[in-house]
Amino acid sequence: MSQPLASAWPLPAMVDPGALSQSPAGASVPGIGGPTAGRDPRLAASLLARNPAASALPAASASQHTPVTRTVNVTSTVPAGKDAASFDPASSRRVASQPMDLTHRSHGGSSVDELVSSVAREFALPESLLHAVVQVESSGNPRAVSPKGARGLMQLMPATARELGVTDSFDPEQNLRGGAAYLAKQIERFGDLPRALAAYNAGPGAVQKHGGVPPYRETQHYVSRVMGLAEQLEQ
């Protein structure tokens, strides 16, 4: 059995998501290829074995700009100069408190739970991690729509879906495979889970700028919730 996520990396303290400021402009996102079914399966195990000191969360400041949930579906290379995801300040806070609904069925008849597990294996990600991301993003509802118009399990914005060739933002498999591809790319890029989750939420540019998880309340809250839930799901 894999090492629990929270023991692999120190969990950041939960922060008050209130009084959030406007998010900064989206950071640039490098091009991402398609699914990586042939990736080294040892990646998932290595994720749970690291404890990088560089991933420690800095103290949040109320005066800092605070980006909000970053969601993305990746089925093709992101055009140069384009931001692959959109920010939605209401989405993560609205859905994260709801219980995960695993009864929804995809077009092929598979439950969300089954699809998440399958896609996690395809991208060599811990199943508990992908389940946690889906819970925080949409509470497992493939028909979820945020006040800003983000849709589906990974809360794609319509413009993002069109740019990346996504034909149906409510299709669970398209959302899951895109989100998993993007998260796996950030894990490979930054080498540890807190920074990868921060990049998924706030953009890799913000993580690079601050040399770790940026001091944004929303991002710190997001990282904490996803990692905490992933640990709970492993128990």
Residues annotated catalytic, as ranges: 137
Give the pair of three-digit tokens for residue 158.
């319509």
Asked if residue 164 lies in contact with residue 181, where contact means CB atoms within 8 angstroms, the answer is no
Q: Which residues 6+ apart lie within 8 Å of 15 measured at CB?
A: 60, 217, 220, 221, 224
Between CA 228 and CA 20, with CA 233 as vertex, the angle to 5 degrees is 30
CA 160, chain centre distance (Å): 15
| Residue 34 DSSP code | S
